[in-house]
Each structure stands twice: as C-alpha cells, then as structure tokens.
C-alpha cells in the first residue's frame, strides 16, 4: 500500500501530539427537571438601600415652552440651503417681569425647525448676510426688554 504525502503529514502530526483530542463536558444541573426560584432579598438584591420600601412610578406632565421671536420663515445659510423655522430666544424674563431677551448666545442662535420637536442651535456665522443682519436687529431690540 502506497501512502501519499498528505497522509504522511497527517500521521506525523498525530504521532507527535500536535493535535489534541477534544472532549466536551456537559454541565448537568443538580436537580434536573426541578425549577426553583431564588429570593433577591430587599431592594432586588442590589445591596443598596434607599430607605423606601416600595417605589411606585408616578406620571407627571412636563410643559416645555419656547419663546419664538419670529413666525415660521425661510432661513438661508452661506451655502444657500434654506430651512423653514422660527427664531427662538435663549432666555427671557419671567411673565410679568421686565428685562432683556437673549437671542444670541456665544455666537449661536436657536431655531425651532418645522417638523422637529427640539430646538436646534446654529452658528450665527454660518447664516447668510441678510439673515445675520435681521437677527442683529432683532437681538438689539430684544436686549431692551420684552414688549408689554
């Protein structure tokens, strides 16, 4: 019987112990077929105590208000792309109080873009020249306080 090169190589690997036999170990639970529940203890077994025995989630209504200083209109950037949005104030005095309305903060303005729920901060320097001029005029008037 003639043995080929591959067969010799295979036999050589086996004879030198380069291939170890693989044995699988199967873990068997101590009580197969029986299900038990573990107690997690107080506070879910986390080891931390909050002092409250049971916390029930409560729903609450949160009202988020934005002070829009313009109606929805088109705002263009330096590339000529436009967005339909309202210009928002960053801060304003509480109702019934007087004080300045902040339109520009750290070189940015805020918009409430149509179709979105959250305001977007946008760098003033990336807006078109006409938009920057308009916002500067609005900011100047708003710095003197909200209208009565």
The residues, ordered by sequence, that sit 6+ positions from 131 with a Cβ below 8 Å of its Cβ are 75, 76
Q: Where are the beta strands (DSSP E) in 22-143?
A: 73-76, 82-88, 108-113, 120-123
Contact 109, 122 (CB under 8 A): yes
Pseudo-torsion of CA 119, 125, 131, 136, nearest 10°?
90
pLDDT digits over 30-78, tens only? 776 776 666 665 555 555 555 555 566 788 886 667 788 899 999 999 9
Please name each of the domains of the chain with its CATH number.
Answer: 73-142 (2.30.30)
Please indicate whether residue 133 or residue 22 has the higher confidence score (pLDDT).
133
Give how far the C-alpha of residue 61 lies from the chain's centroid of Cα atoms, to the nearest Å: 21
Contact 101, 138 (CB under 8 A): no
Give how far the C-alpha of residue 37 lies from the chain's centroid of Cα atoms, to the nearest Å: 37
């Amino acid at each position: 019987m003639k043995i080929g090169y591959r067969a010799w190589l295979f036999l050589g690997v086996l004879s030198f112990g380069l291939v170890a036999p693989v044995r699988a170990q199967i873990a068997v639970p101590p009580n197969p077929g029986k299900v038990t529940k573990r107690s997690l203890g107080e506070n879910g077994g986390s080891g931390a105590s909050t002092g409250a025995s049971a916390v029930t989630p409560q729903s609450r209504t949160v009202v988020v208000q934005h002070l829009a200083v313009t109606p929805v209109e088109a705002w263009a950037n330096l590339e000529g792309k436009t967005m339909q949005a309202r210009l928002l104030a960053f801060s304003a005095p509480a109702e019934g109080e007087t004080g300045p309305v902040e339109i520009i903060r750290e070189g940015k303005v805020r918009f409430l873009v149509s179709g979105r729920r959250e305001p977007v901060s946008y760098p003033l320097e990336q807006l078109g020249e006409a938009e920057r001029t308009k916002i500067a005029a609005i900011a100047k008037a708003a710095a003197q306080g909200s209208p009565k």
